[in-house]
Amino acid sequence: MIRKLYERMMQLAAHRRASWALAAVSFTESSFFPIPPDALLIPMGLANREKVFRYALICTIASVLGGLAGYLIGWLLYDTVGRAILDFYGMTDKFSTFVNWYHEYGAMIVLFAGITPFPYKVITIASGVASLDLVVFTVASIVARGLRFYLVAALLFWFGPTARRILERYLGWITLAAGVLLVGGFVMLRYVG
């Protein structure tokens, strides 16, 4: 199923309304959809490298708005919609642990998950269930999602087709490393400063 969705994303990248599709995928991926926006961002960025940063902006804005939808699912609809989404991803058992972590590390969790391959929708729903401060959630989402998508855009802009091979093969590791560095920096500032 996921492979078919990925192939569909590749077809959408060539469509004349690809920017709208990119926004829709970015929005839905933050609350329930399993395919990341990179599946569209990468081919669109390679096809038109001059617009790759515009595409990153579309991803960021739509992803943050989708994250707010995920937050609302957790806050208002957890028992019905939210639990079903978590069941689909096999995250229901681990979910209570995430909610407990929010009381101390909420913003750090959103920052880390927002740039890594971890399913961001789980974090957006958990943020709503835990009633993480909405301003903190939104700012952390903007920083994390912006960093993730602009990192991909920068690689595509500077390295072109070579970047596609690198991103498709190592995107998870690249974003994980960026997440560790980002969160590590905040932790260091908190305890050193």
pLDDT confidence band for 179 (50 / 70 / 90):
low
The highest-confidence range among 53-62, 72-81, 180-189, by mean pLDDT, is: 53-62
Task: Point out the least confidently predicted range of 71-80, 115-124, 182-191.
Answer: 182-191
The model's pLDDT over 135-165, given as tens digits with 9 standing for 90+, comes to 999 999 999 999 999 988 998 898 887 876 7
* CA atoms in the 13 A half-sphere facing the CB of 183: 18
Domain that includes residue 127, residue range: 2-192
Residues of the chain with pLDDT > 70, as a percent, come to 81
Counted domains in the chain: 1
Per-residue pLDDT at 138: 96
Task: Please check whether residue 115 is in contact with residue 148, taking contact to mean a CB–CB distance below 8 angstroms.
Answer: yes
Task: Please check whether residue 78 is in contact with residue 125, taking contact to mean a CB–CB distance below 8 angstroms.
Answer: yes
